[in-house]
Amino acid sequence: MDEVLFSGPLSVQKNSSTAEYICELAKKPEFFELKLYNQATFTIMLSKLNESEYYTIKETQSIRVNYMSFIATLSELLKRVQRKELFIEVGSTIKIIERNTFRNILHLELPLKNLTESEYKMYISEILSKLNRKTSALERENSILKEELMSARRANDDMTQRYREELEKLESTTNRSRREAGDLEMKVNSLKKITDESALEIDRLKKENRILEDDLKKANDIIKRNFEDLKGRIKSETLLKEETRNYKQEKEDIEAINSRLEMEVMEKNEEIKILKELEEERAEAINNLKIMNKSLNRKLESTYRIYNRIYKKHDETEEDTKTEETTSSLIAPESIQY
């Protein structure tokens, strides 16, 4: 049974020119065969050695391995030729040479076999048969690849269409969210304005309250002083009673004024309470807006990553630019300083 130990293209120097040959090293039951052929010119070069012939060249070329090891070593030498570490020259023999700056080192020299016409036709027929089989296999593989490519293109078109639809939905949602964010921003600004005005009003009411408290204290001080003065000046019971009645009336008037002032203070405190509740609602609305904005940003970034995997590099660059602009506009509401 034949065993192919090496098969592949090699650069071969022949008659001062270099051409690419297909090289095949095969181990057969009675001998090994090294075959070089050029598909363009149908040139075939062949070297065949059985075990006894090998031992002849082993002696002449000082080779130190046995027949079986030699075939494996020859396969490794051909791989080194393929890697451009060694070179093949063909004249009357096949030579495997190592070139360095000092001299060329001959690793191996194999005799060439002269092919008869029948042998040449047989090898050509074998080569053509292999080429036909390889061509048929490549055609089948090409047909399968075409079908897979068409299927992949259809799947890609379907996926692209779905992503476009999803992107359109996302853009619609984003635009709606932008409008809602704009409306919410206007409401927040309005609430902020109301809060600022309320803070000013609270400060004004506090000042008025302090003034009223000072006035009430002064009034009480005046009442006390007047009461003491009245006690000293009143000499008679009639005058005292009259002054007392006047004092009582004045006290009632002051108490009425005091009650009215207390009612005003209670009303102002109620207004302050309402303004604080409005401030809490504004803070909650701002927090909800931030949460919604962050969620929309994450969804938008996820969709653009999926979208960018599908399109080509120049589309990716263009879409990246759009994505940066869109993301900047989405994040804008969060940049408000509260």
Rounded to a whole number of angstroms, the distance between the first and last alpha carbons of the chain is 88
> In whole angstroms, how large is the CA radius of gyration of the chain?
53
**pLDDT in the model for residue 325:** 60
**pLDDT in the model for residue 320:** 62
**HSE toward the beta carbon, residue 115, CA cutoff 13 A:** 16
The pLDDT profile of the chain, 338 residues, written as one tens digit per residue, is 678 999 999 999 998 889 999 999 999 988 999 999 988 888 899 999 999 999 999 999 999 999 999 999 999 999 999 999 999 999 999 999 999 888 889 999 999 988 877 777 777 777 777 777 778 888 888 888 888 888 888 888 888 888 888 888 888 888 888 888 888 888 888 888 888 887 888 888 888 878 878 888 887 888 788 777 767 776 777 877 888 788 888 888 888 988 888 898 788 888 888 988 888 888 888 888 889 888 888 888 888 788 777 766 666 566 666 666 665 555 555 544 54
Element (H, E) at 225: helix 117-233
Instruction: Could you please state the CATH topology (level 3) that the domain comprising 3-114 is classified under.
Output: Dna Repair Protein Xrcc4; Chain: A, domain 1 (2.170.210)
**pLDDT in the model for residue 64:** 93
The structure tokens listed for 97 are 């040479």
Give me the residue label for tokens 């297909």: 22
Domain boundaries, the chain: 3-114, 182-335
**pLDDT in the model for residue 72:** 93
CA gap 95, 12 in Å, rounded: 10
To the question of pTM greater than 0.85 for the whole model, the response is: no
Give me the residue label for tokens 């050509």: 124
**pLDDT in the model for residue 336:** 46
The answer to whether 13 and 37 have CB atoms below 8 angstroms apart is no
**pLDDT in the model for residue 338:** 45
Four-CA torsion 36, 41, 42, 43, nearest 10 degrees? -40
260-285 burial string, b = 16+ CB within 10 Å, else e? ebeeeeeebeeeeeebeeebeebeee
